[in-house]
Amino acid sequence: MPHPPPPFIPKRGVSLLLVGLLAAWPLCTARSEDELVYKYEDYRETGGRIGVREQAGSASQDLTPNLTLQLTGTLDAITGATPTGQPAPNGSSQVPLTELTERRKEWTGDLTGRLGRLSVDAGFADSRESDYVSAGWSINTRTDFNDKNTTLLAGVAGTSDRVEVFFEPAYLPKHSADGIAGLTQLIDPLTSVSLAVSWGRATGYLGEQHKLVQKTIQFLPGVSLAETFGENRPDEKDHGDAVLTLNRAFPRIAGALEASDRLYRDTFGITGNTAELTWFQHLGAALSLRPFFRFYDQTAAAFYHYNLDQTAIIPVRIPLGRGPYYSSDYRISALDSFSLGAKAVWKVSERVEIDVAFERYAMEGRDGVTPQSAYPLAAITTAGLKVSW
């Protein structure tokens, strides 16, 4: 999926550290404190749909003046109803839903070393669900030039996953590899610009094993039956994106603006664009407020079909990533999404910081065919505590 994906759907695979670095890169600074961090997030869709409660804890420790270790553990509890992929019954606009319960455990480790102008981060991650196991690695470098007015970024990452599916007794493999290169340039003491370009490739079982398609099959003249099949996506995908970020400080009003735009394209046929604005406002020495707005739109995958009865496609019984390709997963349809929210950060003392945030998230279909009932409305609440020394 292009970035940002819908806040939900079970977080298949590890959260690649290369991708996380891409998002945080314009704001990265050298670590100067050891710290413990706890984060809680509650994602809740309306109408009894998916709810996710996530808890994460991390610890960072300087092993030497130039070597830092960070360990993070995450627990997700996922419950609620999600669309199956089948079309709405005749006379109804409500797509069928299925109940889902899942737990995910993930841990990550980062070892960051600094040698002069060069910073190297090696990351490892492991994520486990009842039907999905993922292991990942990443290596990222940052190098400062021009009296630290210019920073170059380069990184690579990969995953090796195993997916349990209904049509095979053994787990199916899935692999990915990603690379990134970027540049940050300080324009003046108040302004910086960043540009990053990334490319990746995934192979193996790339479908969502819980999503279905429906096709009415004629068995005898005048005798037809609606049958369900597992979706069938290609077994390889290339994807790339480019991110442009502008940071501008406004000292007179104790504020700063971050604006970014991300363009995405993959060989599934999806083209996406994400525009985001965040304002950082200091309200005194101890309190800051960060309102933000994000807009995302994408075209549909070439093989997305809301209703296979409107096509000549005959689904296969064992979807192993060879044609014909088809999926009725609303997440790869033509859609827009909007996020509006704010984050407050309170520095209780020199060593203690508390943050809370609230976000409203809405997704809308754009193909004029897929019912709006397939797309979620959600509220996202987060809270965090950081203790440093």
For 92-102, how does the pLDDT look when each residue is reduced to its tens digit (9 = 90+)? 999 999 999 99
In the predicted model, what is the mean pLDDT of residues 357-382?
98
Classify each residue of 123-162 as buried b or exposed e, where b means 16 or more C-beta atoms within 10 Å of its C-beta.
bebebbbebbbbbbbbebebebeeeeeebebebebbbbbb
Residue-number span of the structural domain to which 229 is assigned: 17-388
Residue 88 lies in a domain: yes
Q: Give mean pLDDT, residues 33-47.
A: 95
pLDDT band at 385 (very low <50, low <70, confident <90, very high): very high
Please report whether residue 5 resides in a domain: no
Dihedral sign, Cα of residue 88, residue 81, residue 299, residue 138: negative
Residue 3 pLDDT greater than 80, yes or no: no
Report the number of distinct structural domains present in the chain.
Answer: 1
Residue 9 is assigned to a structural domain of this protein: no
CA 199 to chain centre: 16
Residue 12 lies in a domain: no
* Strand partners for 239: 200, 266
User: Quick one: pLDDT band at residue 264, thresholds 50, 70, 90?
Assistant: very high
What is the residue-averaged pLDDT of the chain? 92
Q: What percent of the chain shows pLDDT beyond 90?
A: 86
Tokens of 103: 């737990």
In this structure, is residue 376 part of a structural domain? yes
Over residues 293-349, the pLDDT tens digits come to 999 999 999 999 999 999 999 999 999 899 899 999 999 999 999 999 999 999 999
Q: Which residue type is seen at 301?
A: A
Q: Is residue 10 part of a domain?
A: no
Q: Which domain CATH number covers 141?
A: 2.40.160.40
pLDDT at residue 31 tops 80: no
- Asked whether residue 160 is domain-assigned, the answer is yes
Q: Where residue 1 falls among pLDDT bands split at 50, 70, 90?
A: very low
For residue 167, pLDDT over 50 is answered with: yes
Query: Is the four-CA dihedral 24, 280, 36, 350 of positive or negative sign?
Result: positive
pLDDT digits (tens, 9 = 90+) for 184-236: 999 999 999 999 999 999 999 999 999 999 999 988 888 889 999 999 999 99
pLDDT grade for 52, boundaries at 50, 70 and 90: very high
Instruction: Give the span between the Cα atoms of 54 and 77, in whole angstroms.
Output: 6
Which residues make beta-bridge pairs with 326?
Answer: 232
Question: Has residue 6 been placed in a domain?
Answer: no
Percent pLDDT > 70 in the chain is: 92
Return the pLDDT at 12: 54
